[in-house]
Structure 1
Amino acid sequence: MVSGKDTLAFNTEPFIKIRKDLHQIPELGFQEVKTQRYLLNYIEELPNKDWLEWKTWRTGILVRLGGSSPTRTIGYRTDIDGLPIEEETALPFISEHPGMMHACGHDLHMSIALGVLTYFSGHQPKDNLLFVFQPAEEGPGGAKPMLESEEFKSWKPDRMVALHIAPELPVGTVGTKTGFLFANTSELFIDLKGKGGHAAYPHQANDMVIAASYLVTQLQTIVSRNVSPLDSAVVTIGKIAGGTKQNIIAENARIEGTIRTLTIDSMHLVKERIEGMVKGIESSFDCELSIDYGANYCQVFNSEAETSAFIDFVKELDYVKFFESEKAMTGEDFGYFLEEIPGFMFWLGVGSEHGLHSSKLNPNEDAIDCAIRLLIDYVKGA
Structure 2
Amino acid sequence: MFREDELIDIRRALHKIPELALEEHETQNLLLKKLSQMNQENMVICRIEGLDTALMVKISGTNAKKTIGYRADMDALPVVEETGFDFASRHEGLMHACGHDIHLTVALGLIDYFSENQPKDDLLFFFQPAEEEKNGGKLAYELGAFEGDWRPDEIYALHDNPLLPVGKISCRMGTLFAGTVEVDVDFIGQNGHAAYPHDANDMVVAASAFVMQVQSVIARRIDPLKAAVATFGHLQAGTIRNVITGKARLEGTLRGLEQATLEQLMKHIQRVADGIALGYDCQVHVTFRQGGYLPVENAAKQTKDFISFMEEHHPNQFEITEPAMTGEDFGYLLSKIPGTMFWLGVEDDHPLHSVQFNPKEAAIVPAIEIIADFLTHRMQEKEENNV
* TM-score, with structure 1 as normaliser: 0.91
* Letter aligned with residue 118 of structure 1: D
Alpha-carbon distance in structure 2 between the residues aligned to 1:51 and 1:227? 49
Match of 1:81 in 2: 75
Alpha-carbon distance in structure 2 between the residues aligned to 1:204 and 1:80? 53
* Letter aligned with residue 210 of structure 2: L
* Letter aligned with residue 41 of structure 1: K
Match of 1:6 in 2: none
Alpha-carbon distance in structure 1 between the residues aligned to 2:82 and 2:283? 39
The runs of 4+ residues in structure 1 deviating greater than 6 Å are none
Answer with 302-311 or 151-160: which moved more.
302-311
Match of 1:308 in 2: 304
Give SS of 1:293's match.
strand
Q: Verify the 8 A CA contact 1:68 1:124 in the aligned structure 2.
A: yes
Give SS of 1:218's match.
helix
* Letter aligned with residue 169 of structure 2: V
Match of 1:228 in 2: 223
Q: CA deviation at 1:341?
A: 1.8
Q: CA deviation at 1:367?
A: 0.7
Answer with 162-171 or 32-41: which moved more.
32-41
Map 1:289-368 onto structure 2 (within 5 A). Answer: 289-296=284-291, 297-317=293-313, 321-368=317-364
Return 5+ residue gaps in structure 1 as ranges.
1-8
Q: 1:97 to 1:291 in 2, by over 3 A?
A: farther
* Letter aligned with residue 372 of structure 1: I
Return 5+ residue gaps in structure 2 as ranges.
379-387
Match of 1:381 in 2: 377
* Letter aligned with residue 370 of structure 1: P
Answer with 88-97 or 155-164: which moved more.
88-97
Q: Does 1:109 align with 2:103?
A: yes
- The Cα offsets for residues 155-193 of structure 1, whole Å up to 9 and x where unpaired, read as 011110101111111013111012222222211121223
Give SS of 1:213's match.
helix
Map 1:139-218 onto structure 2 (within 5 A). Answer: 139-154=133-148, 155-218=150-213
Give SS of 1:329's match.
strand
**Percent identity of the aligned residues?**
44
Match of 1:68 in 2: 62
Q: Verify the 8 A CA contact 1:140 1:294 in the aligned structure 2.
A: no
* Letter aligned with residue 53 of structure 1: I
- The Cα offsets for residues 33-81 of structure 1, whole Å up to 9 and x where unpaired, read as 3222322233234332453332233321111111122111110001111
Q: 1:190 to 1:74 in 2, by over 3 A?
A: same
Q: Verify the 8 A CA contact 1:47 1:121 in the aligned structure 2.
A: yes
Match among 119, 133, 138 for residue 132 of structure 2: 138
Answer with 111-120 or 238-247: which moved more.
238-247
Q: CA deviation at 1:350?
A: 0.6
* Letter aligned with residue 305 of structure 1: K
Match among 242, 250, 263 for residue 245 of structure 2: 250
Give SS of 1:59's match.
strand
Q: CA deviation at 1:200?
A: 4.1
Q: Does 1:27 align with 2:23?
A: no
Q: Does 1:276 align with 2:277?
A: no
Q: 1:282 to 1:102 in 2, by over 3 A?
A: same
Q: Verify the 8 A CA contact 2:72 2:157 in the aligned structure 1.
A: yes
* Letter aligned with residue 347 of structure 2: G
Answer with 338-347 or 93-102: which moved more.
93-102
Q: 1:23 to 1:193 in 2, by over 3 A?
A: farther
Q: CA deviation at 1:351?
A: 0.5
Q: Verify the 8 A CA contact 2:193 2:244 in the aligned structure 1.
A: yes
Aligned-residue CA RMSD in angstroms? 2.1
Q: Verify the 8 A CA contact 2:42 2:115 in the aligned structure 1.
A: no
Map 1:33-44 onto structure 2 (within 5 A). Answer: 33-44=25-36
Alpha-carbon distance in structure 1 between the residues aligned to 2:286 and 2:266? 10
* TM-score, with structure 2 as normaliser: 0.90
Q: CA deviation at 1:201?
A: 4.1
Alpha-carbon distance in structure 2 between the residues aligned to 1:290 and 1:33? 37
Q: Verify the 8 A CA contact 2:21 2:131 in the aligned structure 1.
A: yes
